[in-house]
Amino acid sequence: MNVLLIGSGGREHAIAYKLSSSKNLTQLFCMSGNSGMKGLCELVEGSPSNFATVLNFCKENNIELVIVGPEQPLVDGLADFLIENGIKTFGPTKAGAMLEGSKKFSKDFMLKHEIPTAKYKTFMASTDAKADLDNWNYPLVIKASGLAAGKGVIICQNLQEAEKCIEDLMDHKIFGSSSDTILIEEFLEGKEASLIAFIDGDNFLLTPTSRDHKRLGNNDEGPNTGGMGAYSPVADVSEEIIEQVKTEGFEKVLSGLKKDGINYCGVLYAGLMLTKDGPKVLEFNVRFGDPEAQVILPMIKNDLLDLMLACCDKKLAEQSIEILPKSALTVTMASKGYPQTSSKGDIIEGLQNFDDKQLENGDTTIFHAATKCENDTWQTNGGRVLYVTAMADNLESAREKVYQDIEKIKFEGSQYRTDIAKK
């Protein structure tokens, strides 16, 4: 089977890594991928925002399945377009993708279908939002409704911080049009965790639990990022909690989607807060998390292509997910200045130590996100650059392995946390 993967980040590298061992895979293409993926797939020039380009490539190369990795093409309707043109696609249509594309839509959906979540209000004018701030307890959470690369969520400790946040989002447009509408939410106490499910529209299968670390610095200090590291499984997510998320989360989501006439095929990510009153949904994402994919996918023993095809063909009920009895951990190495700016062109040293390494063999694997290779020299290409990843019999062993090996990789201004999975 010829497969086209859409995307270029660490998540897509992890997907390609897992797909490469699929027994039914003939050839894997990636548009546009990154330099670190070259050994796993054929990189294809082109932008997924140009739907005609994607379709023409599919027709010319006998593509039998398209896998859409990032959220933006899904929100833009790429899956709709491909399906309408007879191309089997793993990823929700535009209507389903609104669960991530609009936090207002998502929260309204949760309220309508009685999915436990934080109390909230939405605003389309900064004056209205600021006028309402006296009605909230602090800290509170302010969110850009639209897509903001995982950085549009701000925790405000007091009235002054909240007012400045609203001005930054709505008046100064630091995240562009994504904050034309904002949400103010109650702050939930507890530990965060993630559960991701494969969905075929009628059934779902859960992947291993994971925990992301959003803040740039140790001890969860500094600005929000797209994710500075993750691990799986999460010991404090009990079977009881998982059952609660199944019944109060995913089952209600599926039922709600059906009631609203939305056929959903792909993965659904539930970001959770484990509160004293039980798990509550912070947000939904309509794709694998990044960096959660880097630790979840290696933990799944199944053939990934089989699972994705089962979703597309509404045959997920015939599948079950087998999880390896191991632990996985990844640490993000980010460029100088991230997340405010993104340094590019810095020389990366040490990657030659990790070529063709296999997690299953106990080796550390490097998933690339923002790299380029020119004249056999690796360089940074902005943002989150690399994900140093290991899998072992237990979490501490995986952690020790990653931090031993991360010291072998050097580039100017590199940033990474040293406390991933410490709490």
The pLDDT tens digits for 333-392 are 999 999 988 899 999 999 988 877 788 888 899 999 999 998 889 999 999 999 999 999
Rounded CA separation 42/24 (Å):
17
| CATH hierarchy code of domain 327-406 | 3.90.600.10
Side-chain-side CA neighbours of 403 within 13 Å: the count stands at 14
Three-state DSSP class for residue 248: helix
Cα 143 off chain centre by: 17
CATH class held by domain 191-318: alpha beta
Query: N- to C-terminal Cα distance for the chain?
Result: 42
Cβ of 34: how many Cβ atoms within 10 Å?
23
Show the low-confidence residues of the chain (pLDDT under 70).
423
CATH homologous superfamily for the domain 119-186: ATP-grasp fold, A domain (3.30.1490.20)
| Beta strand residue intervals within 127-253, DSSP E | 140-144, 153-156, 182-186, 191-199, 204-206, 211-212, 215-217, 221-224, 229-232
pTM of the model: 0.95
Longest dimension (CA), the chain: 60
- Residue 397's identity, in one-letter code, is S
From edge to edge, which strands make up the β-sheet containing 204-206?
204-206, 191-199, 266-275, 278-285
Domain 2-93 has CATH 1.10.287.1770: no
At residue 336, the pLDDT reads: 95
Residue 387 · residue 369 · CB < 8 Å = yes
The radius of gyration of the chain from alpha carbons, rounded to an integer in Å, stands at 21
For the chain, which residues make up each domain, given as ranges? 2-93, 119-186, 191-318, 327-406
Contacts of the segment 86-89: beta carbons below 8 A, 24+ positions apart: 87/55, 87/58, 87/63, 88/64, 88/309, 88/312, 89/65, 89/265, 89/312
Q: How many CB atoms lie within 10 A of CB 375?
A: 4
| pLDDT (0 to 100) of residue 358 | 81
Extract the runs of DSSP E, i.e. beta strands, from 61-200: 65-68, 89-90, 120-123, 140-144, 153-156, 182-186, 191-199
H/E stretch holding 390: strand 384-392
Show the tokens assigned to 164: 């400045």
